Structure 1
Amino acid sequence: MKKIAWITDTAAQLDEAFIEKHDVYVLPLSVIFGDGEYKESIDLTQQEFYDKLRLAKVSPKTSQPAIGEMLSLYEKLQSEGYDFAIALHLSSGLSGTFATAQSAAEIADFKVYPIDSLIGSFPMVKMIETGSELFSEGNEVEAVVATLKSMAANSHLSFIPSSLNQLHKSGRVSGTQAFLSNVLNIKLVITFEDGKTVMKEKVRSNKRAKNSVMDALRADMAAGSVPEVAVNHCNNAADAESWKNELLREFPDLKVQVVQLSVCVGVHAGEGTTGLSWVAY
């Protein structure tokens, strides 16, 4: 059996048990505040990030792993006897990480298969989990890569910012839009389409925004199978748990977990954001 490494980035938000079980190597995304650059999960915890974000007068920036980091990792894996690696990264519509992985793979002597997840968060976790199972069953790498690309095309992530304040600070909406949104309780539903984030809905009240996301889930469940859903959030575990309970009341047999979004999402969407993600089969 071939020795296979998985490579991803902190957009996936993997826990240590998952990393150890599936032999995953995580390249950190970075956040740049006025006082310097911080690598996610290494230099900065989730709570520390949001503490700094509240005090920041200028919105921080995000940064991808450098090509040198990738090449060093590839060399390390080769020296440790791995036959090849699958590099699954945050959507190329949001970050240059996937493109950098492609460039690094072309330079390195070590065989790497870069895959654009077209998304972030929980669906990335399911792709690695599924790929690991396929390899353990003896599938060839080409078949596994094809399956993961199919999963990427059938993954969903929508989120609802708590307010438009951070979107305004990061330059995504105007000050007038942010002000009117707060006054009129207007909520945005932002979703991934073809690897890019787009505004799907603009509605009055959080209840209507959540129902819009739920309608997309219901449609996928009616068309096929959605065995598992993640409630995602940006430092808003209480509302995420509440949404989880709502899901379980409507779908008692559904497997639901609560997952923090990468702080790089928090840079743009802001603290308090909640959403849902899943893979449709």
Structure 2
Amino acid sequence: MKKIAWITDTAAQLDDAFIQKHDVYVLPLSVVFSDGTYRESIDLTQKEFYDKLREAKASPKTSQPAIGEMLALYEKLEAEGYDSAIALHLSSGLSGTFESAQSAAKMTDFKVYPVDSKIGSFPMVKMIEAGNELLENGKEVEEVVEALKGMTAKAHLSFIPSSLNQLHKSGRVSGTQNFLSNILNIKLVITFVDGITVMKEKVRSNKRAKNNVTEALRADMAAGTVTEVAAIHCNNAVDAETWKNELLQEFPDLKVEVVQLSVCVGVHAGEGTTGLSWLAK
């Protein structure tokens, strides 16, 4: 059996146990504040990020891993005896990480298969799990890569920013839109469509926004294609736990996890954001 490595980035938010179990190497995304650049999960914890975000006068930016960092990892994997690597990265609609991986792969003799997840967070975790299972069952790397590409169309992630303040700071909405949303309690439902985030709905009240997201889950549940869901959040575990419990009341057999989103999502969506994510079968 060939020795295959998995590569991803911190958008997947993998824990140490998962990294060890599935032989995953994680490249950090970065956040650029006025006082410097911080690598996610290395230079900056989630708590430290949100503390800095609240105090920041200017909205921070996000940054992808450097090609040199990717090349160094590829060379390291080759030296350690890996035959090849599958590099599953954050959607190319949000970051240049996938394109950088493609460029880096052409600069080395080590065989790397970059895959655009067309999403972030929980579905990336499930893709790595499924891909690893295919490898263990004797599938060739090329077959696994094609299977992963097929999974991207079945991945879902929708979120509801707590307010539009951070979207305004990062230039995504105007000051007028932000003001009116706060006055009228308008909530946005943002979802992934073919790798990019789009505003799906604009509704009054958080309850209506949550129901809009849950309706998409209900449709896939009715088709019998979902067994696991993540209640995702940006430093808002309390509301994510509440949503988890609401889902379990409606779907007692559903496995629901509470998952923290990458701080790079927090840069744009803002603290307090909640949502749901899953990968349909």
Shift in Å, 1:221: 1.8
Paired amino acid for 1:218: R
Residues in 2 aligned to 1:213 and 1:147: alpha-carbon distance in whole angstroms: 27
Residues in 2 aligned to 1:256 and 1:220: alpha-carbon distance in whole angstroms: 15
SS at match of 2:110: coil
1:46-66: CA deviations, max 9, x gaps? Answer: 000000000001000000000
What is residue 222 of structure 1 aligned with on the other side? 222
Alignment of 1:64-103 (within 5 A): 64-103=64-103
SS at match of 1:257: strand
What is residue 180 of structure 1 aligned with on the other side? 180
What is residue 243 of structure 2 aligned with on the other side? 243
Residues in 1 aligned to 2:173 and 2:214: alpha-carbon distance in whole angstroms: 25
CA-based RMSD: 0.6
SS at match of 1:127: helix
Shift in Å, 1:181: 0.4
State whether structure 2 residue 23 is matched by structure 1 residue 15.
Answer: no
Residues in 1 aligned to 2:142 and 2:27: alpha-carbon distance in whole angstroms: 24
Shift in Å, 1:219: 1.2
1:117-166: CA deviations, max 9, x gaps? Answer: 00000000000011111111111112111111111111000000000000
What is residue 108 of structure 1 aligned with on the other side? 108
Residues in 2 aligned to 1:216 and 1:35: alpha-carbon distance in whole angstroms: 41
Paired amino acid for 1:233: H
Shift in Å, 1:224: 3.8
Shift in Å, 1:225: 1.0
Paired amino acid for 2:35: D
What is residue 26 of structure 1 aligned with on the other side? 26
Alignment of 1:1-281 (within 5 A): 1-281=1-281
Paired amino acid for 1:42: I
Residues in 1 aligned to 2:228 and 2:39: alpha-carbon distance in whole angstroms: 30
TM-score normalised to the size of structure 1? 0.99
Paired amino acid for 1:123: P
Shift in Å, 1:222: 2.0
Paired amino acid for 2:245: N
1:152-199: CA deviations, max 9, x gaps? Answer: 111000000000000000000001111110110000000000000000
Residues in 1 aligned to 2:153 and 2:75: alpha-carbon distance in whole angstroms: 31
SS at match of 2:241: helix
SS at match of 1:113: strand
Residues in 2 aligned to 1:7 and 1:16: alpha-carbon distance in whole angstroms: 14
Shift in Å, 1:228: 0.3
Paired amino acid for 2:107: I
TM-score normalised to the size of structure 2? 0.99
Paired amino acid for 2:112: V
Shift in Å, 1:280: 1.1
Structure 1: 5+ residue stretches without partners: none
Paired amino acid for 2:229: V
Residues in 1 aligned to 2:142 and 2:24: alpha-carbon distance in whole angstroms: 19
Shift in Å, 1:223: 2.8
Structure 2: 5+ residue stretches without partners: none
Residues in 2 aligned to 1:249 and 1:37: alpha-carbon distance in whole angstroms: 43
Residues in 1 aligned to 2:97 and 2:222: alpha-carbon distance in whole angstroms: 34
After the TM superposition, which parts of structure 1 deviate over 6 Å for at least 4 consecutive aligned residues?
none
